[in-house]
């Protein structure tokens, strides 16, 4: 645990979550057609713990031939079993997966923290319960599709290829798999290369649930494995969450094909504080929006806009709060900010911090000692930021916040919308009419009012502009996996 230098912050005794109850294999094969199969190339890569750089497991690297086997298994399962099964029966399997996940929630949470570097508080209280709830929620829809789409004939699409990132590994798998299964599709899913382990644990649960072989296939690997899924001619739909750069590659690759797609890409979301906002709550909202989960949230509130007359007060309170944040071992229940997901990501974040300094913005970082091993970044804010600065325009994906001020509502709307992205936004004010005004004018998929980073399976999520298209979650999330006649 990194000790805070500030004497006014409490020193907590370490409270480490145990790891003795988790079961991790030394080596993971591919989960194809209900069986664990070796990769045809014989290649494996290492999944390491970013908090201490120790090896957690070796994971199979799937190539085109393996992806082809997975797609064939998914097609066979779709044609012979899953598309023919009564929706009520499909729902039972999805419920079963949700319950099994719940039973092993603690194991999932610990593995997620080990593999992704996120704090145990976050994986235990947010990632895993939300992932279970997604399965519960979509299990409920499976036999009610005619109510979701009244007077329409609902058909499934076929085989869904799903590619997910490393920031919410299990949750993103749940977001993708649950609605696909509920609507009668089969799945080939690829987790991100740095965070495959909870998806592989999910495969074990899927096996235990008795889900018919081939309905869900999990193939691990790098970008080449993802590309093999995208380019496979027998995949009917691509669901991708990741960077805008890869999203554009995928768009190009599937142009002119009949493949449907939903893309959930990057963000540079605005968190807007008006002078009538409850300031202490807003400061908590800022911290929650950008520092928790190390800023590894695509909808992170990474651009803060504070009304000019309260800017000094908000920044002073924010700095005070930052000094009380614990950076360190993700498995310690006191930790607020865990490890950055990978060495590469830490390098990217540090590159942007240097860019911010070079651009003339004023930096403030808390002065905590970071652990000697592992990848860590202290909470960082930049003031004196210009709208055109790179740090205010590009996604950093780390605990780095830019702060700008504004005077009028129109000015902040213009500034907040001046971004190629449009994933989310936050508005803090006591005035209801102002909230409604901003929600209609901010070009963002989600606008939170007097809160930030709140998720629920019933609520749709997705972006505007370069943040992608299509919605996941809620009734809208079903749309992405059906053909309506």
Do 344 and 386 meet the contact criterion of CB atoms below 8 Å apart? no
Concerning whether 368 is annotated as a catalytic residue, the answer is: no
**Which residue from 148, 154, 213, 249 is in contact with ligand ADP, where contact means CB under 6 A?**
249
Exposure string of 370-399, with b = 16+ CB inside 10 Å and e = fewer, is eeeebbbbbbbbbbebeeebebbebbbbbb
CB 370 within 8 A of CB 376: yes
Per the CB < 8 A criterion, the answer to whether 193 and 343 are in contact is: no
Give the Å distances, CA to CA, from 149 to 179, 226, 479.
14, 32, 9
Residue 298 is a catalytic residue:
yes
| Interaction mask 166-205, ligand ADP, x per CB under 6 A | x-----------------------x-xx------------
CB-nearer residue toward ligand ADP: 163 or 205: 163
Tell me the site size for ligand ADP, rule CB under 6 A. 17
Kindly write out the interface string for residues 39-78 of this chain, putting x where it contacts ligand ADP by CB under 6 A and - elsewhere: ----------------------------------------
- Tokens, residue 195: 């965070």
Q: What is the DSSP letter of 136?
A: H
Tell me how far, at minimum, the Cβ of 26 lies from ligand ADP, in Å.
Answer: 23
163 binds ligand ADP (CB under 6 A): yes
Q: How far is the CB of 167 from ligand ADP (least distance, A)?
A: 7
Backbone dihedral angles phi then psi of residue 265, each to the nearest 5 degrees: -115, -150
Minimum Å gap between C-beta 65 and ligand ADP is 17
The one catalytic residue in 17, 107, 264, 466 is: 264
Contact 272, 439 (CB under 8 A): no
Query: SS3 of 395, please?
Result: coil
Check 107, 112, 193, 298 and give the catalytic one: 298
Which x/- pattern over 90-129 shows residues binding ligand ADP (rule: CB under 6 A)? ----------------------------------------
Question: How far is the CA of 132 from the CAs of 292, 310, 481, in angstroms?
Answer: 21, 41, 20
Chain residues 207-246 in contact with ligand ADP, contact rule CB under 6 A: 222-223, 226-227, 230, 242-243, 246
Residue from 71, 103, 117, 122 nearest 234 by CA: 71
Residue 255 CB, nearest distance to ligand ADP (Å)? 14
CB of 164 to ligand ADP, least distance (A): 6
- Nearest Cα neighbor of 329 from 379, 376, 287, 397 is 376
Residues binding ligand ADP (CB under 6 A): 163-166, 190, 192-193, 222-223, 226-227, 230, 242-243, 246, 249-250
List active site positions. Answer: 264, 298
């Amino acid at each position: 645990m990194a000790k805070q230098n500030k004497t006014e912050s409490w020193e907590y005794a370490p409270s480490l979550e145990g790891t003795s109850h988790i079961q991790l294999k030394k080596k993971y094969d591919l989960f194809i057609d209900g069986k664990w199969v070796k990769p045809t190339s014989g290649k494996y890569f290492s999944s390491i713990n970013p908090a201490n750089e120790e090896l957690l497991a070796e994971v199979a690297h799937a190539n085109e031939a393996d992806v082809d086997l997975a797609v064939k298994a998914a097609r066979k399962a779709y044609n012979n079993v899953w598309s023919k099964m009564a929706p009520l029966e499909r729902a039972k399997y999805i419920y079963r997966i949700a319950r099994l996940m719940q039973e092993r929630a603690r194991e999932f949470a610990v593995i997620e923290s080990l593999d992704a570097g996120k704090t145990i508080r976050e994986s235990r209280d947010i990632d895993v319960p939300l992932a279970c709830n997604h399965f519960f929620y979509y299990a409920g829809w499976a036999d009610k599709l005619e109510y979701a789409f009244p007077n329409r004939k609902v058909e499934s699409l076929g085989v869904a290829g799903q590619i997910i990132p490393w920031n919410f590994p299990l949750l993103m798998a749940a977001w993708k798999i649950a609605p696909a299964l509920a609507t009668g599709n089969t799945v080939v899913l690829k987790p991100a290369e740095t965070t495959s382990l909870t998806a592989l644990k999910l495969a074990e649960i899927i096996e235990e649930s008795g889900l018919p072989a081939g309905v869900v296939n999990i193939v691990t690997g790098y970008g080449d494995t993802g590309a093999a899924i995208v380019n496979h001619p027998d995949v009917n739909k691509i669901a991708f969450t990741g960077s805008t750069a890869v999203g554009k590659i995928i768009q190009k690759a599937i142009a002119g094909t009949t493949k449907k797609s939903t893309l959930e890409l990057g963000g540079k979301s605005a968190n807007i504080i008006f002078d009538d906002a409850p300031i202490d709550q807003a400061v908590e909202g800022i911290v929650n929006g950008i520092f928790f989960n190390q800023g590894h949230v695509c909808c992170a509130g990474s651009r803060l806009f504070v009304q000019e007359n309260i800017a000094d007060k908000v920044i002073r309170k924010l700095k005070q709060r930052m000094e009380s944040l614990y950076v360190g071992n993700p498995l310690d229940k006191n930790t607020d900010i865990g490890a950055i997901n990978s060495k590469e990501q830490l390098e990217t974040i540090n590159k942007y911090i240097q860019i911010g300094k070079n651009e003339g913005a004023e930096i403030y970082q808390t002065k905590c000692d970071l652990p000697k091993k592992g990848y860590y970044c202290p909470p960082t804010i930049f003031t004196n930021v210009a709208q055109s600065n790179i740090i205010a325009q590009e996604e950093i994906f780390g605990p780095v916040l830019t702060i700008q001020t504004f005077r009028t509502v129109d000015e902040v709307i213009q500034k907040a919308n001046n971004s190629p992205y449009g994933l989310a936004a936050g508005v803090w004010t006591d005035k209801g009419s102002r909230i409604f005004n901003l929600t209609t004018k901010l070009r963002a998929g989600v606008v939170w009012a007097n809160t930030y980073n709140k998720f629920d399976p019933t609520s749709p999520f997705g972006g505007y502009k370069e943040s992608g298209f299509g919605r996941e979650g809620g009734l809208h999330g079903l749309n992405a996996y059906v053909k309506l006649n």
